[in-house]
Amino acid sequence: MRVLFRFACADLPDVSGVQEAEITEGATVEQAMTEFAKNRRMEDTLAKLPESMFLIGKKPAQLATVLREGDELMVMRILHGG
């Protein structure tokens, strides 16, 4: 199925913006991110998942949320500082 990935991650400039990807039907957010990263040889991105927030459309999503055809998955890194 096709899913739009929208990244808002200053520390991941290679994936900023919107990218469309074909992922396995019925994939969760975590599975979709794993497929996306592996297909682009960006496995180091996966280590940053726990520090990310996800939205499907405009609704909060968890790593276990199942995606559907045409969903737009927004990935936002949680920034820390002080």
CB-based contacts of 6: which residues, under 8 Å, 6+ apart?
17, 18, 72, 73, 74, 75
CA 51 to each of CA 14, 22, 70: distance values in angstroms, whole numbers, following the listed order: 18, 24, 25
Tokens of 31: 């599975």
Other C-beta atoms lying within 10 Å of the C-beta of residue 73 = 22
Chunked mean pLDDT (size 10), the chain, 82 residues: 86 72 94 85 68 91 96 84 64
E strands present in the chain: 2-8, 17-22, 52-56, 59-61, 72-77
This prediction has a pTM of 0.81
Domain ranges of the chain: 2-77
- Tell me which fold the domain 2-77 belongs to: Ubiquitin-like (UB roll) (3.10.20)
